[in-house]
Structure 1
Amino acid sequence: MGNQINDGPWAEMKQINEKAEQINKKAERINKKAERITAINVLILVLNIAIFMMGK
């Protein structure tokens, strides 16, 4: 009976935790990319403002 408890819910919980960790790693990578994109967009915005001011 003890083995059934270990094989059943615990194994399932372990799998769910492993999947959750994989998803978190992917999410962290996506967040890093998003931060880079945001930084680039801010830089482009600043350059556009500078060009606009020079044109005036």
Structure 2
Amino acid sequence: MAEINKFSTSSLITRSTNDITELQILVSMGLQVLTKVQITDIWSICKIVGKS
């Protein structure tokens, strides 16, 4: 608590907002990667099955 009291209220709000924004970006990028990987996997399996 002593460390938190060193910062002003507006500074704490800004830091919290930035942390939440970074977390949202991380989750969004992770979901995009997972979605693209699954689409690519399904597409490649269809192409392989189509060749044989």
Tell me the TM-score normalized by structure 2: 0.67
- Unmatched segments (≥5 aa) in structure 2: none
- The size of the alignment, in residue pairs, is 48
Structure 1, 6-15 or 31-40: larger mean CA deviation = 6-15
- Unmatched segments (≥5 aa) in structure 1: 51-56
Identity of aligned residues (%): 13
Tell me the TM-score normalized by structure 1: 0.64
Q: If you compute each CA radius of gyration, which structure gives the higher value, 1 or 2?
A: 1
RMSD: 2.1
